[in-house]
Amino acid sequence: MINKLIEKIKKTNAPIVVGLDPMLNYVPEHIKQAAYEQYGETPAGAAEAIWQFNKAIVDATSDLIPAVKPQIAMYEQFGVEGVAAFKKTVDYCHEKDLVVIGDVKRGDIGSTSEAYASAHLGSVQIGGMSYAGFDEDFATVNPYLGTDGIKPFVEVCKAHKKGIFILVKTSNPSSGEFQDRLIDGKPLYEHVGEKVAEWGSDCMGDTYSYVGAVVGATYPEQGKIMRAVMPKSFILVPGYGAQGGKGADLVHFFNKDGLGAIVSSSRGIIAAYKQDQYKEKGITPENFADASRLAVEDMIADIAGALEKDR
Amino acid sequence: MINKLIEKIKKTNAPIVVGLDPMLNYVPEHIKQAAYEQYGETPAGAAEAIWQFNKAIVDATSDLIPAVKPQIAMYEQFGVEGVAAFKKTVDYCHEKDLVVIGDVKRGDIGSTSEAYASAHLGSVQIGGMSYAGFDEDFATVNPYLGTDGIKPFVEVCKAHKKGIFILVKTSNPSSGEFQDRLIDGKPLYEHVGEKVAEWGSDCMGDTYSYVGAVVGATYPEQGKIMRAVMPKSFILVPGYGAQGGKGADLVHFFNKDGLGAIVSSSRGIIAAYKQDQYKEKGITPENFADASRLAVEDMIADIAGALEKDR
């Protein structure tokens, strides 16, 4: 799947991923109203609203982008119906031939990690039949539990040609609280990054590993270091846009081949219709998905410009 | 909810929690067959099988125990239907007046952590209505992202009188890979434990905090240290039984008041019917839930004996 991701990044010339993290207050009123009329002000109604919202954004952007990253928390909050909307979104994105990165940040030990890996990347055996649960292409994984927590994911990645991105240095302000603490003179995130390289070496695609890392756009200096520590790992870079990361911050996350990173933006794209700069271009809540397309184009240009300048 | 947990522990005299982690190969054939006859060898069939399995175990043990701990990974692997079985299990355990600890190990940042907290412990607003998603009483949470990841959970705990257990030192063999690394002369898990105490001080029940910790039974020495570092935090102790932890290892996790810890066992109870010691007492796959009751009684006696000896 890392090969497919790279192929699609090359084809679209867009090392970006659209975060499908639909908060209800991002969803335009007319979509919510239609959903509530059909299902009431219920979890089923909310699930329908976020699904219709996602669908419109995917329809408006899928030819420009290689991948999407639905954040499962935003669906889980609506209970079983929300989780069903997550699955519907994953399936629809696959129909559109998008690579789907499930931002699930799972992580446990032994058979439990195996169950999470099966749920999101693999399949389960039920009697004589085999079924995929959520069937994303990549999943984000938390490293706190160590190799026991990661290996089951790696095994499923190998068997199903899927991939993972392991949290190394997250984009939030307090990420340093534990991740930056020095151990033998190096921050914890660097130790985690070294493990990512080690786990990933066992599990290579054509040029990059199935095992990638998450390093926030808000920490470009750390990105530079981690790029060197994990040369064969793709870096998923959240924190662009709404969280403050800019194109110029991102160059350090890429390798000399122009690859090695995929930059995520959520709010900046899916709620672009709320921004003045797009309102001025004639965007209204009714054509919100057009704003998402414009925002994708702007993000691609911003990153391409920064990479060009860096060359 | 921490008050209710303590009250129920006192009433049952059983500081234990039954892990409802139903692997399909734990479920006796007759239950699977009945479920598959109704729903086919499908995720719906598997979900029905694990639900019937859980129900029988809960019915057989609920008067002896204060709490259950369903591990959501085991349900997620069956996709949306599996997640529905998780919810059904949570609801049924509430009907039986059990405290439900959702072993979900979630953790993210800002609005995403808030969504997870709403999903598992709080509620969401949909139009003019409010709904709880999964509605557990406690959830397990991963600390790797720092305070930004934890605070939204703490806020929801305050608002809804729920609780969390934060991973501090996990029970698995490789937990030390990152957790044991020394930072300023103290292992990472101790730094996390200090934060747990700090986060929890803001959020107290009558005698203990809503914010607890996870420390594996397999690391009794660390348990002793962490007991002192987090005097007001309940410790959820996994790793008893199948993972190797014994009653005698557990005394260090308790405070002088005989409280402060709740010990979890999953396989050792829910799959007890497979053990020779229970087969010898007339247990067959047909009366598997009776074995779970016997195993609960044995576990209670083991821990009570160890605590008695330590007094």
Q: Are the C-beta atoms of residues B66 and B8 closer than 8 Å to each other?
A: yes
pLDDT in tens, A17-49: 999 999 999 999 999 999 999 999 999 999 999
Q: Tell me A23's DSSP state.
A: -
- CA dist A210 and B272 (Å) reads 38
Q: Is the ipTM of this complex over 0.90?
A: yes
* pLDDT one-digit tens code per residue, B249-267: 899 999 999 999 999 999 9
Q: Does residue B276 have a pLDDT over 80?
A: yes
Q: How far lies B211's CA from each of A69, A253, B4, B230, in Å?
A: 31, 37, 14, 10
Instruction: Write the pLDDT tens digit of every residue in A45-77.
Output: 999 999 999 999 999 999 999 999 999 999 999
Per CB-CB distance under 8 Å, the chain A contacts of B145 are: 167, 170, 172, 174-175
Amino acid identity at A296: V
Asked whether A110 and B218 are in contact (CB, 8 A), the reply is: no
Give the C-alpha separation, B153 to A310, whole Å.
Answer: 41
Q: Is A12 exposed, middle or buried (0-12, 13-18, 19+ CB in 10 A)?
A: middle
**Total length of chain B:** 311
Distances (CA, A) of B131 to A213, B124, B262, B271: 35, 5, 29, 34
Query: How far is Cα A210 from Cα A208, in angstroms, rounded to an integer?
Result: 7
Phi, psi of A295 (to 5 degrees): -65, -35
From the CA of A41, how many Å to the nearest CA of chain B? 6
Look at the alpha carbons of B212, B214, B218, B223 in this order and tell me if their dihedral is positive or negative.
negative
Let me know if A206 is exposed, middle or buried by CB neighbors in 10 A (0-12, 13-18, 19+): exposed
Q: Which residues of B are catalytic?
A: 105
Instruction: Report angle CA A31, A36, A40 to the nearest 5 degrees.
Output: 170
Residue pair B289/B57 in contact by the 8 Å Cβ criterion: yes
B-chain CB neighbours of A30 within 8 Å are none
Q: pTM, whole model, 2 decimals?
A: 0.97
Predicted pLDDT of residue B1:
87
Give me the mean pLDDT over the B63-84 stretch: 98
Helix (H) or strand (E) holding A10: helix A2-12
Task: Provide the shortest C-alpha distance from residue A132 to chain B (in Å).
Answer: 8
CA nearest A119 in B: which residue? Answer: B77
The per-residue pLDDT for range B28-48, each reduced to its tens digit, is 999 999 999 999 999 999 999
Are B105 and A107 within 8 A, CB to CB? yes
Contact status of A109 with chain B (Cβ, < 8 Å): yes
Nearest to A80 by CA among B109, B80, B57, B131: B80
Q: What is the rounded average pLDDT of the residues B241-251?
A: 79
Chain B contact set for A173 (CB, 8 A):
148
Q: What distance in Å separates the CA atoms of residue A89 and residue B84, rounded to the nearest whole number?
A: 18
In chain B the first and final C-alpha atoms are separated, in Å, by 28
**Is A88 within 8 Å of chain B by CB?**
no
Q: Nearest CB to B142: which of A119, A124, A144? A: A144
Q: Which of A78, A73, A194, A112 is nearest to B167 (CA)?
A: A112
Catalytic residue status for A105: yes
Answer whether A115 sits within 8 Å of B142, measured CB to CB: no
CB within 8 Å: B146 and A172: yes
Token pair 């190990």 in the structure block, residue: B105
- Residue that has been written with the tokens 């608002």 in this structure: B159
B52 at interface of A, judged by CB pairs closer than 8 A: no
User: Cα-atom radius of gyration of chain A, to the nearest Å?
Assistant: 19
